[in-house]
Amino acid sequence: MAKKALVIEDDINIAELLRLYLEKDGFEVHIADNGGKGISEFERLKPDLVLLDIMLPVLDGWSVCREIRSVSKVPIIMLTAKGETFDKISGLEMGADDYIVKPFEIKELLARVHAVMRRSEAEEGPESKKLVFDKLVINMDSFELIVDGKKVEAPPKEMELLYHLASTPNRVYTRNQLLDEVWGFDYFGDSRTVDVHIKRLREKLENISDKWTLKTVWGVGYKFELTGT
């Protein structure tokens, strides 16, 4: 059965171009031309992939992303005519899996689509992905972060980044390694994206336990350090 892609884009030329190439790639494609319709179509279709423009009528892409992410882990790629870091980071913080700046090359777009779909399918595998530390539970099966006994809301990329670091305690990762291994080798982003996600995680995890810490290794990168027994 073909996977379903929902394109939420008000520029009909771009939307139809995406339909053409995604259908060639084997997707069943549906289009919504504003954010409100995008939410309705998402609820109706339950798509496997969402391509989401930022500048939309009725409801902007950031709001749509937030609404979708509150109920689903479906892969979301944001489309923007702007290249500013603010726009990219805003989308990623709200739970988008990737972004691409218009105008884009179709080959690059499809590479990103394949990358987020691979990651999504890998996360659905049968192997349990749960890490437990003092006052901290990182459960990737349910995408839950439990801090000092309380569930803390965290976007998918924050969860994936923390899980990746905590899976190999005390190992130092460079920003580029984290972009490659968490966001995927097809990610063409700014390494500051990692810094933003680390900052957000620290706000959630600071002073919780003296047995572990999310540590900066200056001039190198980051690590999840075990500091006690």
Topology, domain 130-226: Arc Repressor Mutant, subunit A (1.10.10)
pLDDT at 229: 46
**Both tokens assigned to 214:** 């999310």
Contact 98, 78 (CB under 8 A): yes
pLDDT at 10: 95
CA dihedral 157, 169, 224, 218 (to 10 degrees): -110
Lowest mean pLDDT among 86-100, 185-199, 200-214: 86-100
Residue 125's pLDDT band (cuts 50, 70, 90): low
Q: What is the pLDDT of residues 130-173, one digit of tens each?
A: 898 999 999 988 889 999 999 999 988 899 999 999 988 889 99
Residues of the chain with CATH 1.10.10.10: 130-226
Residues of the chain with CATH 3.40.50.2300: 4-123
CATH number for the domain running over 4-123: 3.40.50.2300
Residue 11's pLDDT band (cuts 50, 70, 90): very high
* pLDDT above 90 (res 32): yes
* pLDDT above 90 (res 59): yes
DSSP 4: E
